[in-house]
Amino acid sequence: MMDSQKKIKLKVNGREHCFTIGDGCGEIPASETLVETIRERLLLTGTKRPCNEGGCGGCTVLIDGKPSLSCSTLTSECDGKQITTIEGLEDPVTHELHPIQQAFIDLDAIQCGMCTPGITLTAKALLDNNPDPTRQEVAEALAGNICRCTGYEKYFDGILLAAKRMRETANNGKGE
Amino acid sequence: MAEHRYLGKNQPRLAARDIVTGRARYAADEKIAGMLWAKVLRSPYAYAKIIDIDTSKAEALPGVKAIITYKNAPHWKAGMIIPHKHLLSDTVYFIGDAVALIAAETEAIADEARDLIKVEYEELDPILSIEDSMKEDAPQLYPEIPGNVADYEPFANQGMALTQEKVGDIEAGFAEADVIHEVTTVLENAQNPLPPESPGIIAEWNGEDYVTVRGSMSSNGLCRMMNSGCMNLPISKMRVIASYVGGSYGSKHFSSNGLIIHYAAALSKATGKPVGLFYDREEHLTCQTTRMNSIGKYKIGMKKDGTITAIQGEWTGEAGAFNGEHYMIIAVGLISQGVLAQSKNVDISTKIVLTNRQTSGAFRGYGYLENAIHISNALYQTLEKIDLDPVEYFRRNRLKVGDEFYHAYMCSGMVKAAGPDALEMINKGAEKFRWDERWKGFGVPTYEDENVVRAVGVGFCGQSDVGEQLANENVNLTFDGGVTVSCVATEFGPGTRDVMRKIAAEALNVDLSMVRVTDSDSMAAPYEWGSTGSRSTYAMGTAVLKACEDAKRQLFERVAQIFHCPPEALETKDGMVSIIGHPEATVPWIAAIGFNGSITGVGNFGGEYNVLVQQVQFIEMELDKKTGKVTVLEQLCSTDCGQIVNPDALKGQLDGYFPGIDMAIREGMIWDKDGRIVNPNMIDYKTRTWNEIPKHENIILESAADGNYVGTKPPYGAFGAGEPSLAPGIPALTLAIYNATGKWFTTYPITPKEILDALREKEGR
């Protein structure tokens, strides 16, 4: 393999995509960011690119379960990674929403919605690791996701409501 | 109070599922076949002449489709009242002003081409402050604007808007006063609205001089009105299709600075292809609009009971590099005088000046926020002299129903306040915040130890443009019981489209799921401004309600022929029409409308300017005595919206108050000595995040739900209350900081260093 060329595999929302990194025809440049690959090549435009400089959290995706800024991540460095975007949260068969998405709808936590995908994914990572967070833990986990409309209050409430519903579901599952 | 089927109850927003699943398409998510990418080469100098520009290398780059400079640009001009800002000219007026426009097959090629353009400039001495613009030896920026001061006479002569109000006898008023006090406040934050999404536009010029513009535009008709003429087109030859808008807060009305639209359209005209222009964050923060800077000098004469015997003011706003809608910002802002400081003797003169800085424009709080700060600063310092609690002052001096106040915008004269009376919102807010207990007097903290000092403050604001401008909407009833509201309301956050949908569902008594609102496409709905100011619920909602009533009238006239009864004897529910009290006499809409038929109701509204949206905010903050840092501990908003339509959505509007308080203590653009903004990014321009949110509460009253208004009443009494949330926090925090430090600040943002200096001075006394 030439130095300037390498093949990578990304698994995005469970589906595998292969790319060749390089300067040639049909290859993707080593400088391409993950948000560009997701939006422009995979056409998953639910991932937003609001500031494109790592300052707002709007482009957050999960890389191997960890919230990551896709505008500040090179695609070429994601070989073998599992990537979850907002499109990956809805059940593809039943169209059931993730509890965080449902809670945001139920409490009308959203306003313009530009920050919502990033907030949803960061919150998912939080709840996957900490099913019963305090308000302070939510604040610290989400501090990198800037919202200018809502004052964050209903987002807080939505994440805590989703956590409660997820715990209840988990407990019901155990009881059966 | 009437019981409603939908109003005042929560239903999921129409757009909710699209937004949470990522399906909502914003400007940058739109894709049009054959679209070219645009970039703008921008000036590194605040004021300069272009001596030479060489585009040959850029033009030779494969994939470049057009490069426009002042040499080949269309003769388009922006700016009001006399258009003066050329699309491109041989002079650049601020750092970031456009020098060349590039369209190419890919974004990367456009970027590369931009770097290949060589420009030689001759630097000129720029004007970088309001004061400097008015100096006698200041450079003359545009021949159309002598002395760099905008001329508003053409508007005054049409009786449309006066920016200068004169009422009573100012000298006699001051002669009656027990105290007279004057304060000058300088607002030079140039706070950025900072919507999460930077502006993005796709323009498609059709050969017959007709342009379709897609993208992040929050006010469909206003955008057409303000921008079509700049491109030498009648309004009817500019089609606007709004995407989901990722926040606007006023900045995406493109009412003052629509250059992004003109640039994309010029490139589309030149190439014959659709052209997308998407600002990056630096362009967004340096080239789109900021809040208007202004200097306000206010002199207040007051009696010992708080009566204002006279108020005299000079208020000067900064348009920036060209002049747009600023006369309207000033005109709306003047309402602050009536709301905050009504008096029989008033003389306020205003001015708009040009500088070589980024242009200012619409931003939530539109003029009345700025003027509320200017007037409150003078007011609070005057109240201190008579030792009157500001809350007690607001109770006494509020506009009561029937009180006259000066309305410069549209009416150009005195109007009678239609309410609501603010007394209840003031009292309920004060009670909940325990103001009477926590207010210790001017200059007195509520708590102090060796590390911190805490203090409370209050702010008040209001405006009466909730019913502004003409509104036109249509409602179509289809034979299957469905309803389509033709309305250009945009999906930009506050839930405006849901308001229209719920009003229609309420008026026609149909299941909410049967009502849809057209896309915000100027070809799909009658012309009107769209969501701007705070007009949506009142102005657009009234037109929707009237359109529903018109449709219902037509429906009932037809059913009356079936039942041989008067139309007044009929009622409708869920697509059926019955004789009231006779459920056995029921027919479906299709019986009257006919298979494949529909009925269109038309609704118009002429504008009302006397209903007040007002808000009072209470704040407690803590100062760190070692660092000077201000932490807001508690904040309470109290307001009256007439009738709640979407409870959760309205709560969200009030919850988003913090960019207001942050104008007082942290937000602002920072310029270097050459006029360059040095913090145009999300790291250096600090907005608040999750772990910086104080304890917060809302009180939302519905005092007018039954409607006690003159003129055209708001629909179901509802007129919205979201916009003012930013305004009262700044005077509230200014007062609290005074109570903690003993220093009245009159420049913003108030920095930790200034606060430390004030604390040292206080301790030294």
Question: Residue B117 belongs to a domain with what CATH number?
Answer: 3.90.1170.50
Q: Does B659 contact A at CB distance below 8 Å? A: yes
The reply to whether A109 and A155 lie within a common domain is yes
The reply to whether B89 and B32 lie within a common domain is yes
The CATH number of residue A43's host domain is 3.10.20.30
User: Does residue A76 lie within any of the structural domains?
Assistant: yes
Polymer length in residues for chain B: 765
The reply to whether B209 and B338 lie within a common domain is no
The reply to whether B636 and B666 lie within a common domain is yes
Give B416's strand partners.
B404
* Cα angle value B682/A85/A51 (rounded, 5°): 15
- Tally C-beta pairs within 8 A across A and B: 169
Integer Cα distance of B451 and B327 in angstroms: 46
C-beta atoms of A104 and B13 within 8 A = no
Boundary residue ending a domain (A39, A66, A88): A88
The reply to whether B648 and B713 lie within a common domain is yes
- Domain membership of residue B428 as a residue range: 293-466+610-764
- Chain B neighbors of A114, CB-CB under 8 A: 26, 195-197, 246-247
The reply to whether A138 and A164 lie within a common domain is yes
Let me know: does B395 contact B427? Beta carbons within 8 Å.
yes
B36 CA: distance to closest CA in chain A (Å):
14
User: Does residue A18 lie within any of the structural domains?
Assistant: yes
The reply to whether A106 and A125 lie within a common domain is yes
C-beta atoms of A156 and B20 within 8 A = no
Integer Cα distance of B269 and B74 in angstroms: 9
The reply to whether A77 and A104 lie within a common domain is no
Q: Does B649 contact A at CB distance below 8 Å? A: yes
The reply to whether B564 and B700 lie within a common domain is no
User: Does residue A93 lie within any of the structural domains?
Assistant: no
CA B648 vs. chain centroid, Å, equals 21
Give B448's strand partners.
B453
Q: Does B690 contact A at CB distance below 8 Å? A: yes
Q: Does B15 contact A at CB distance below 8 Å? A: yes
B12 CA: distance to closest CA in chain A (Å):
6
User: Does residue B349 lie within any of the structural domains?
Assistant: yes
C-beta atoms of A143 and B492 within 8 A = no
CA dist B683 → A57, A117, B192 (Å): 12, 21, 14
Let me know: does B223 contact B51? Beta carbons within 8 Å.
no
Which of left, alpha, beta for A113 (phi over 0: left; psi -120 to 50: alpha)? Answer: left
Integer Cα distance of B554 and B549 in angstroms: 9
- CB-closest option in B195, B281, B690 to A143: B690
- CB-closest option in B197, B495, B690 to A114: B197
Residue B583: CB partners within 8 Å, gap ≥ 6? none
C-beta atoms of A112 and B17 within 8 A = no
- Domain membership of residue A60 as a residue range: 6-88
* Runs of H (alpha helix) within B564-624: 589-593
The reply to whether A110 and A67 lie within a common domain is no
The reply to whether A67 and A138 lie within a common domain is no
The reply to whether B647 and B760 lie within a common domain is yes
Give B598's strand partners.
B478
The reply to whether B498 and B630 lie within a common domain is no
Query: For residue A160, what pLDDT is reported?
Result: 98
The CATH number of residue A133's host domain is 1.10.150.120
C-beta atoms of B693 and A45 within 8 A = no
The reply to whether A140 and A104 lie within a common domain is yes
Q: Total domain count for chain B?
A: 3
User: Does residue B172 lie within any of the structural domains?
Assistant: no
Q: Total domain count for chain A?
A: 2
C-beta atoms of A148 and B492 within 8 A = no
Q: Does B722 contact A at CB distance below 8 Å? A: no
CA dist B551 → A25, A172, B389, B510, B715 (Å): 60, 51, 53, 13, 16
User: 10-residue block means of pLDDT along chain B (765 residues)?
Assistant: 88 95 96 95 98 98 98 96 95 98 97 98 97 93 94 67 75 98 96 97 94 97 96 97 97 94 98 97 96 97 98 96 92 94 94 96 96 98 98 96 86 85 96 97 97 98 92 97 97 94 98 97 96 92 98 98 97 98 96 97 93 96 97 97 94 94 95 96 94 96 72 88 94 98 97 96 83
Query: For residue B707, what pLDDT is reported?
Result: 57
- CB-closest option in A53, A105, A149 to B281: A53
For an interface test with A, the pick among B690, B695, B726 (most A C-beta atoms closer than 10 Å) comes out as B690
Nearest-Cα residue of chain A relative to residue B680: A51
Give the count of alpha carbons within 13 A of B652, CB side only: 29
- CB-closest option in A108, A148, A153 to B696: A153
- CB-closest option in A86, A111, A155 to B22: A86
Q: Does A11 contact B at CB distance below 8 Å? A: no
Query: For residue B419, what pLDDT is reported?
Result: 87
User: Does residue A54 lie within any of the structural domains?
Assistant: yes
The reply to whether B500 and B461 lie within a common domain is no
Integer Cα distance of A120 and A126 in angstroms: 10
User: Does residue A80 lie within any of the structural domains?
Assistant: yes
* Cα angle value B36/B37/B43 (rounded, 5°): 140
C-beta atoms of B12 and A55 within 8 A = no
- CB-closest option in B16, B646, B693 to A105: B16
- CB-closest option in A48, A52, A143 to B689: A143
Q: How many of the other CB atoms lie within 10 Å of CB of B597?
A: 13
Q: Does B280 contact A at CB distance below 8 Å? A: yes
The reply to whether A107 and A68 lie within a common domain is no
User: Does residue B175 lie within any of the structural domains?
Assistant: no
The reply to whether B643 and B727 lie within a common domain is yes
Nearest-Cα residue of chain B relative to residue A103: B20
Q: Does B13 contact A at CB distance below 8 Å? A: yes
Can you read off the two tokens belonging to residue B231?
């491109």
The CATH number of residue B708's host domain is 3.30.365.10
- Chain A neighbors of B280, CB-CB under 8 A: 52
User: Does residue B642 lie within any of the structural domains?
Assistant: yes
Q: Does B589 contact A at CB distance below 8 Å? A: no
C-beta atoms of B22 and A50 within 8 A = no
User: Does residue B682 lie within any of the structural domains?
Assistant: yes
CA dist B529 → B522, B534, B536 (Å): 10, 12, 9
User: Does residue B556 lie within any of the structural domains?
Assistant: yes
The reply to whether A80 and A108 lie within a common domain is no
Integer Cα distance of B658 and B500 in angstroms: 27
Which residues, numbered 141 to 160 in chain A, qualify as contacts with chain B under a Cβ-Cβ cut-off of 8 Å? Answer: 142-156
The reply to whether A33 and A12 lie within a common domain is yes
Boundary residue ending a domain (A88, A107, A132): A88
A175 CA: distance to closest CA in chain B (Å):
31
- Chain A neighbors of B28, CB-CB under 8 A: 45, 48-49
pTM: 0.96
In B384-526, which ranges are E strands? 404-407, 413-416, 447-448, 452-463, 471-478, 483-486, 515-517
C-beta atoms of B247 and A97 within 8 A = no
Query: For residue A1, what pLDDT is reported?
Result: 45
Which of left, alpha, beta for B469 (phi over 0: left; psi -120 to 50: alpha)? Answer: left
For an interface test with B, the pick among A60, A149, A155, A156 (most B C-beta atoms closer than 10 Å) comes out as A149
C-beta atoms of A148 and B195 within 8 A = yes
Integer Cα distance of A96 and B284 in angstroms: 37
- Chain A neighbors of B17, CB-CB under 8 A: 97, 105
Boundary residue ending a domain (A27, A61, A88): A88
C-beta atoms of A89 and B651 within 8 A = no
Boundary residue ending a domain (B287, B307, B339): B287
The reply to whether B234 and B264 lie within a common domain is yes
B135 CA: distance to closest CA in chain A (Å):
38
